[in-house]
Chains A and B, each alone.
Chain A
């Protein structure tokens, strides 16, 4: 077999990979569409006014971990305290911030130090002090030694009072009805519902995005903002809805995740051994319950309940995504006993292998595909128009899947303006040439760092907000 033949075979194999992953994605879109339709009808039939006023609605403890979040923490906590929910508490954990996060919180909410004797069920770094406020009786601030996000959430779990806990990110601002929307599912069947998450969108300035105009979803200008928005919509609507329906919702994102506290207690809380904690915890809960053959559900809902900060520069975006790639690699490889293992049902047979192929191995396949295609064109194996046609096929395949996600999202929410819909649709075909190469680079970098066993967080600077 000549070198050219080998190259041809490699190119064809890569195209086959593309076709297969597209077909799988298409299958997820179809399942997601069914789930989306059912969730929409369920949402319309839910009696939120009774749920929001009833003393029988299950109370929730919200935990937010903050490390050097001076710029955003106040608006995040205000949005949490503003939740339309009958009974909840907000526990902010300051993870030894070196900026003015602690002072900002104390000043903004009139917090004063108190000695509070807390449980020590979950391992965490020592708590320095607990603050409470006379003005906000359901707000607690825990100041602790630095130990990372997972450690902070564990410290928060020791302090919380309620059966359901909601972990949120400090850079995310929420809709007033976020808890109600998500807890509607948990209250239907608290015995089986272990965890719930819901769709989060992105913006450079979440506070402005969520307060811009009630009932309208802002799509910011600029390719970076638009492509990140599309990326999140695809991830939630095209993927997680289907995974939820098929029983392998493997990533309850750190931005907003609700868990039953007793389940977290049972599995040992958040792990500090991984770069990030959210996906690993979801894998661990699935692994524990499936190994023991217990009946349970972990859901993802299509309702958009909050806006998280999106990086506003390419370097910040790469830093964020390479970290995500690393944690996926760490988690999927760590739980390799679940791959293709019938004992773990759809998680073992579909979910974990899907992650393995589409997330862990794909950077290598994409790299090979890129090199092979460029070499094939350079050696004259393929004419340049053929290369362009392949690129066009990839671009529009991706654009069609993105359009499907936009359709489902709009049918569910009806929050987009028509001109924003048109803009999103117009951007979609260029994703492959504008956004994907950045993601490709971030994933290569993340994989490389994973192979070097690097577990650094590389937190990026928060975006600069215009003065208000």
Chain B
């Protein structure tokens, strides 16, 4: 038995020691080689032979995960080097059954960035093989921006494409306004949400009317976008509609309404005060919270601490609100005293 243990242990020791030594040498030598090459490596293609090898690799279907990413790396290097073969390779990549290769093609197209690349990206958006959010991210960071070439997306039969068309048009004021207003009444709620969001940065009467109408949309996330857009575009005029959303059944809608009312600021106060006596507790809480956040509570607590209005707000917001306000005021007063003392 002792003999057996001795032999096995000696065998394991020999193999393990050799493995450790070999790995240690490999790590140090390989690292030294990497440091030496790092200065020379430009990420481009060094010679025609390497270019041929990369082209072959970038065009060859990959069967394993590793081969897939080697293919993608080859494609990236060819694009960075501006190799003339990239257009064909990118076209192949975009139609490749492997989603990761197609996604890499989208990324590389953004780097090419010319008219042909924009067309290819728009096609990729229509086809939806690659997550459309990834394609949209690339389209939004192109220079020059694709602008008018996005408009046909709004007429696509696929609602997902219309959604992205409406979303991507946000940075282009004046472009396809009428169409976007129509899309605020699209049968697909995602499209309506996107249209309403984009209309939030279009200062036209029809946009305002469409947004206000969307505040009562039956789908909750359309109401969320409508609340944000209304706060941004309509300001105080939207406050009476927004306070209604404080009583919405959905937390997201109530939160969006509160954000919008905070953004409107002091102009929203009359509408908020009228909500303090609402029969819905969420509406009362929300109104008090917004009044606190825009500084109205602090102003009252500091100037007219005995005001009945302040008591009404505290009644709607709860004892925590009173305590928090008193702490803030005390802190401000301490700060003021310190400044005066200094």
Contact = CB atoms under 8 A, between A and B. Distances in A.
Contact of A41 (B69, B324, B327): B69
A41 B72 CA distance: 8
Interface string A411-450: 1001010100110010011000000000000000000000
Contacts of B282: 117
B28 to A, nearest CB: 6
The 9 tightest CB contacts between A and B, nearest first, are A41-B69, A396-B16, A403-B23, A115-B321, A113-B324, A400-B19, A54-B137, A393-B12, A393-B13
Contacts of A392: 9, 13, 17
B18 to A, nearest CB: 9
Contact of A8 (B1, B136, B317, B318): B1
A108 interface: no
Interface string B296-327: 00000000000000000000011011011001
B334 interface: no
A113 to B, nearest CB: 4
A51 B5 CA distance: 57
A410 to B, nearest CB: 6
Interface residues of A, number: 60
Contact of B24 (A37, A47, A403): A403
A55 B167 CA distance: 10
Interface in A44-83: 44-45, 47, 50-51, 53-57
A292 B289 CA distance: 41
Contact of B12 (A37, A41, A397): A397
Contacts of B23: 400, 403-404, 406-407, 425
Given A56-B136, A386-B2, A425 B12 contact: no
A47 B73 CA distance: 12
Given A15-B5, A41-B70, A112-B328, A400 B321 contact: no
Contacts of B119: none
Interface string A108-121: 00001111110100
A8 B4 CA distance: 11
Nearest to B254: A117
Given A56-B133, A400-B23, A50 B2 contact: no
Contacts of A406: 23, 27
B209 interface: no
A38 B27 contact: no
Nearest to A191: B131
A119 B254 CA distance: 11
Nearest to B317: A115
A390 interface: yes
Contacts of A117: 282, 285-286, 289
B279 to A, nearest CB: 17
Given A45-B107, A115-B288, A188-B103, A386 B9 contact: yes
A124 to B, nearest CB: 16
Interface of A: 5, 8, 11-12, 15, 19, 34, 37-38, 41-42, 44-45, 47, 50-51, 53-57, 112-117, 119, 129, 161, 187-189, 381-383, 386, 389-390, 392-393, 395-397, 399-400, 403-404, 406-407, 410-411, 414, 416, 418, 421-422, 425, 428-429
B259 to A, nearest CB: 10
Given A57-B137, A389-B9, A119 B251 contact: yes
Contacts of B320: 115, 129
Given A34-B66, A414-B34, A47 B251 contact: no
Nearest to A44: B73
B260 interface: no
Nearest to B318: A115
B255 A161 contact: yes
Given A400-B20, A418-B32, A421-B28, A383 B110 contact: no
B65 interface: yes
B20 A403 contact: yes
- Find the residue from A53, A56, A112 having the highest chain B CB count within 10 A: A56
17 contacts: A11-B5, A15-B9, A45-B69, A47-B138, A50-B107, A50-B137, A56-B137, A113-B327, A115-B317, A117-B282, A386-B2, A392-B13, A397-B16, A406-B27, A407-B30, A411-B30, A429-B20
Nearest to B43: A44
A115 B131 contact: no
Contacts of B72: 41-42, 45
Contacts of A55: 140
Contact of B110 (A37, A50, A422): A50
B104 interface: yes
Contacts of A390: 5, 9
Contact of B292 (A11, A57, A115): A115
- Find the residue from A129, A187, A188, A416 having the highest chain B CB count within 10 A: A188
A390 B12 CA distance: 9
Interface in B1-55: 1-2, 4-6, 8-10, 12-13, 16-17, 19-20, 23-24, 26-28, 30-32, 34-35
Given A5-B1, A38-B68, A56-B133, 20 more contacts: A19-B12, A34-B65, A50-B141, A55-B140, A113-B327, A115-B318, A115-B320, A116-B289, A129-B320, A187-B134, A188-B131, A389-B6, A393-B12, A396-B13, A403-B19, A403-B27, A406-B23, A425-B24, A425-B28, A429-B20
A188 B251 CA distance: 27
A214 to B, nearest CB: 16
Given A15-B5, A113-B327, A421 B27 contact: yes
B71 to A, nearest CB: 9
Contacts of A400: 16, 19-20, 23
Given A45-B104, A403-B23, A12 B4 contact: yes
Contacts of B1: 5, 8, 12, 381
Nearest to B170: A55
B286 A382 contact: no
Contact of B5 (A12, A50, A188, A425): A12
Nearest to B314: A115
A113 B318 CA distance: 14
A54 B140 contact: yes
Nearest to B23: A403
B331 interface: yes
A38 B328 CA distance: 53
A114 to B, nearest CB: 6
B31 A421 contact: yes
A258 B321 CA distance: 33
Nearest to A383: B2
Contact of B137 (A51, A161, A189, A421): A51
Given A51-B137, A404-B23, A399 B9 contact: no
